[in-house]
């Protein structure tokens, strides 16, 4: 520990006084009166779904990220599934992705009958390692699905070069990365398709919701059709022209996002810049607070990126601690700091072990990172006192368990 570390205190888990009286979650939504009023106005309108707010939100979102097309969905998972469908994935195909992600990233490939092929992550950013991804390409590979882990963009230039060389589609899972930048460009305007999530812990929320952005008009057309049962027209258009006839042209799903949700999304989008700025301030304070603690490895930031800071995942140097990650996790929770872990590598889940025969040890960088990762609270509604509580609790717990 630093020479400035406080005198050791009794941990809350051992009967001491917790740093906070109430639990600080790792993430949560921020809703104000403007958000509520926008939703109420939509509830009083003629359209609760398939109405004008959907198009307004999509247009505003596309403009914000700098993409030609934005297509909304009922969740980030639905958006991932739709992107896999639009990419043409089908049984027998393969797509390469990261094991260090939420299961939905890989599951969306299984929904199409394709096989997720995992490649290890880079040690610094914990995003898909392009060299490892390249080594997994076969004649059956149709797509690469990089994950912008914690809001840090993947090495998109290298991944796009791989895709161009082998004729692959890049579906970027940017569910953590709304507002992030890569080489001066906003995420959402770079990959063939980019997927976002609007879950309450994200940078903006629609309750549940997702979006796919793309420059490709054919992808956009397929995505819109897929989210609406495979029907080639929508109810609002048919009402406007006084037409009842419609045609189902592909097997789609009901993955539509409601006008109620889109009204909320439009209001939240207006605050996105401020939300991102606040998250960056929190990350900077964490960096400063933990810089002199040798038992903690702060998140790396590559020089070509501006992360969105969906998460602030520290890694513990367990060689310098006389406790496991689990013990430190429980101690932090006892201090009323709602830490979390992101993620159990997908291939280690029972479903993937049973179906594909993974034993563990296949992706050492991701697996070793998982053993030491703890996500600290990170959301734009945190005040300065909340941030200082987290820093104090981390110092208190780590100091207690220092070797």
Q: Which residues are catalytic?
A: 202
Distance CA(187)–CA(220), nearest Å, equals 17
Is the link from the previous residue into 343 a cis peptide, with omega within 30 of 0?
Answer: yes
Distance CA(271)–CA(24), nearest Å, equals 22
Backbone dihedral region of 66: left (phi > 0), alpha (psi from -120 to 50 degrees) or beta? left
Which residues lie below 8 Å from residue 125, measured CB to CB, with a gap of 6+? 149, 152, 154, 155, 300, 302
What are the backbone dihedrals phi and psi of residue 218, each rounded to the nearest 5 degrees, phi first? Answer: -70, -40
Which residues lie below 8 Å from residue 29, measured CB to CB, with a gap of 6+? 200, 201, 205, 381
Q: Which of 130, 79, 76, 136 has its CA nearest to residue 102? A: 76
CB 106 within 8 A of CB 154: no
In the block, residue with structure tokens 């048919």 = 238
CB 158 within 8 A of CB 182: no
Q: What string of H, E and C letters represents the secondary structure of 7-42?
A: CCCCCHHHCCCCCCCCCECCCCCCCCHHHHHHHHHH
Q: Is 107 exposed, middle or buried (0-12, 13-18, 19+ CB in 10 A)?
A: middle
Using only C-alpha atoms, the chain has a radius of gyration, in whole angstroms, of 22
């Amino acid at each position: 520990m630093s020479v400035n570390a406080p005198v050791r205190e009794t941990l809350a888990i051992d009967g001491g006084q917790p740093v906070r009286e109430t639990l600080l979650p790792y993430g949560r939504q921020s809703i104000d009166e403007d958000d509520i009023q926008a939703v109420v106005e939509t509830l009083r309108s003629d359209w609760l779904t398939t109405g004008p707010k959907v198009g307004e939100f999509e247009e505003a979102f596309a403009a914000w990220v700098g993409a030609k097309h934005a297509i909304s969905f009922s969740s980030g998972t639905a958006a991932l599934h739709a992107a896999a469908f639009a990419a043409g994935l089908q049984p027998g195909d393969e797509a390469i992705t990261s094991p260090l992600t939420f299961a939905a990233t890989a599951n969306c490939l299984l929904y199409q009958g394709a096989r997720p092929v995992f490649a290890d992550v880079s040690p610094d950013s914990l995003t898909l390692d392009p060299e490892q991804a390249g080594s997994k390409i076969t004649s059956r590979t149709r797509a690469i699905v990089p994950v912008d882990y914690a809001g840090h963009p993947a090495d998109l230039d290298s991944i796009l070069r791989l895709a161009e060389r082998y004729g692959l589609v890049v579906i970027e899972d940017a569910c953590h990365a709304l507002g992030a930048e890569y080489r001066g460009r906003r995420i959402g305007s770079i990959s063939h398709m980019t997927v976002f999530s609007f879950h309450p812990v994200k940078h903006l929320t629609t309750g549940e919701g997702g979006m796919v952005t793309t420059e490709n008009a054919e992808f956009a057309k397929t995505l819109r059709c897929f989210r609406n049962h495979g029907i080639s027209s929508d109810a609002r258009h048919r009402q406007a022209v006084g037409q009842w006839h419609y045609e189902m042209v592909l097997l789609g799903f009901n993955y539509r996002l409601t006008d109620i949700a889109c009204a909320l999304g439009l209001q939240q989008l207006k605050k996105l810049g401020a939300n991102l700025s606040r998250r960056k301030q929190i990350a900077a304070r964490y960096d400063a607070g933990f810089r002199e603690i040798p038992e903690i490895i702060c998140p790396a930031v590559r020089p070509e990126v501006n992360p969105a800071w969906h998460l602030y995942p520290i890694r513990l140097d367990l060689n310098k601690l006389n406790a496991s990650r689990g013990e430190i996790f429980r101690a932090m929770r006892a201090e009323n700091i709602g830490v979390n872990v992101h993620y159990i590598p997908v291939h280690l889940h029972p479903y993937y072990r049973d179906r594909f025969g993974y034993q563990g040890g296949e992706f050492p960088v991701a697996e070793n990172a998982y053993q030491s990762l703890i996500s600290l609270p990170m959301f734009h509604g945190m005040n300065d006192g909340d941030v200082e509580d987290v820093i104090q609790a981390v110092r208190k717990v780590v100091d207690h368990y220092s070797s």
